[in-house]
Chain A
Amino acid sequence: MSTPTVHHGAMFDTNELVINMGPQHPSTHGVLRVVLRLDGEKVVDADVVIGYLHRGIEKLSENRNWTQIVLLTDRMDYVAAATSNVGYCETVEKLMSLEVPRRARYVRTILCELQRIASHCLWLGTHAMDIGAMTVFLYAFRERELILDLFEEYCGARLTYNSMRIGGLPLEIPPGWDQKVLEFCKIMDAKVDEYEELLTHNRIWLERTKGVGVIDGPEAVAIGLSGPALRGSGVPRDVRKDEPYAAYDEMEFDVPIGTVGDTYDRYLVRIEEFRQSLRIIRQATEGLPEGPIVGKVPRLIKPPAGETYHAIESPKGELGYFIVSDGKSTNPYRFRVRPPSFCNLQALPRLVRGHLVADVVALIGSIDIVLGEVDR
């Protein structure tokens, strides 16, 4: 990094302090490294250094067959693995022009929304913890545990689910599972209110989040923010509404947006998304159609030559897959992920400039990144 520069200020020579936040730091949510240049406690500039968790998933995927890749997508956003699975499978289905049965699309919707709640729980917990509210962390993890139980019952895994197949679902949902999902919705409704009681009107929380990291709509779009971080700035962009996938076109839900675009707005947006997700889960579970769970999938998956980009709304933002098939081999020619965390993280230096060190952790939490996805 550059050497500290000496300012000749009004009266004294003051040194800028260069400080390495991470890659081992309790609030960088993994192995993120932020090189901060500080003037006192004020951030003059920040440089984000990533790649510590780079496993070459894109390169790996170009050497695995189409089915094996599902399992690699688990390892990207490991707090929302099912969403990555769905995104990948839908992209391949689009490439092959496969018809997915309605029941499978409904279950996908349920899983995606459960996953969104789980991911937001983790976000809420760590975000609150970064700002010092430690109890919310455990409350949020308590509810996330319930979702993990549901996933475990569905596919046997608790973190990396491998829960999708190209063309549909690998498994029929267990008997009684839908009832459990509805029960969970009932519990979660009350819990979201509990989180809000602890934080939404808490004076310290308001002071710590309001006016911190303000970014307006057009700038947020330009810098590539997506998902709740973009909606916090008042841009009603939601892939579920704009380019519906799975069964979202049959669901009724609202897209919450913020007004100012500060950390508090992003917080409110995600809290409201809890409720909207529950609403979607209820609709999908109650209206779950009967029928097959897998469409007409050829035994050997070999999409015709061509390329496509398909995006879904992951809990972090727009998760896109750009896949090129050469039509000859059994693995993709080019496998590209548009990771929402990566693109959102890009805005971090812009957001932290001029704020204090304590706000840096609040802002890292507020854009909700998972380093597994940033680095792939």
Chain B
Amino acid sequence: MPKAAPPTGPPDPPPPADKTPPAFVASLQSAIAGSVTHVSYWVGDWTIVVPATQILNIARHLRDAPDAAFDLCSDVTATDWPPRGTGRFDVVYSLYSTRHRHRIRVKTIVGEHQPLPSVTSVWPAANWLEREIYDMFGVNFAGHPDRRRILMPEDWQGFPQRKDYPLEGPGELLMENPLDWLKLRQAKEEAEIE
């Protein structure tokens, strides 16, 4: 397989001319200025891109505004786009409203060490989902009540779902003590040179 250049992000195409975004997107935009930086429509899903710093306010608005009423946070996940550098992660919130029965995908872009406010206070359901993102990607959730690893062992080194994580895994030793592992690898390489 030819090695193509790594992608830099989803295309997020803007909606076609005959599709108008749902009304709550406009009301969100008017309630919190600058909250929606991009609206996209693809295979039937609406996506809005929002700034990471505003996420808590936006989440609260989306939950409480009567025209949005997104009371169910059905999924929070992330995608890693390493070539983007400073903002390598897409954190994606899939929201659903049990009252209006509509969906929206809220996307925000964060960097590796940039804190992202946790939405656990808005949707308690996000608690474990954010823990999993922290566990798998190392996204730095600020204000999370219980930020521990969830699926990987507590002393695991590295974040397995990142694209630059070695596919063969870190090996047994790295898991226990990364420094020993580095020394061992160095010794092995030196032995091969001789």
Contacts and interface: CB of A to CB of B under 8 A. Distances in A.
**Any A–B CB pair closer than 8 Å:** yes
Interface of A: 50-51, 54, 56, 58-59, 63, 94-95, 97, 218, 221-224, 226, 235, 237, 242-243, 305-309, 311, 318, 320, 322, 324, 326-330, 333-334, 336, 338, 342-343, 345-346, 375-376
B76 to A, nearest CB: 9
Interface of B: 1, 4, 7, 10-11, 13, 42-45, 47, 71-75, 77, 79-80, 92, 94, 98, 101, 103, 105, 123-129, 132, 136, 149-153, 160-161, 165, 167
5 contacts: A59-B161, A224-B72, A322-B94, A338-B94, A342-B132
B94 A54 contact: no
Given A95-B43, A224-B72, 7 more contacts: A50-B150, A59-B161, A226-B72, A308-B45, A309-B94, A309-B103, A334-B79
A375 B42 CA distance: 30
Contacts, number: 110
B98 to A, nearest CB: 5
Residue from the set A51, A56, A218, A318 with the largest chain B CB neighbour count within 10 Å: A51
B74 A329 contact: no
Contact of A326 (B7, B13, B43, B127): B7
A327 B10 CA distance: 9
A205 to B, nearest CB: 30
A258 to B, nearest CB: 15
A311 B149 CA distance: 26
Closest 9 CB pairs of A and B: A224-B125, A51-B151, A338-B75, A326-B7, A336-B77, A334-B79, A54-B151, A346-B128, A306-B42
A54 B125 contact: no
B151 A329 contact: no
A338 B44 contact: no
B43 A343 contact: no
A346 B79 contact: no
A260 B45 CA distance: 34
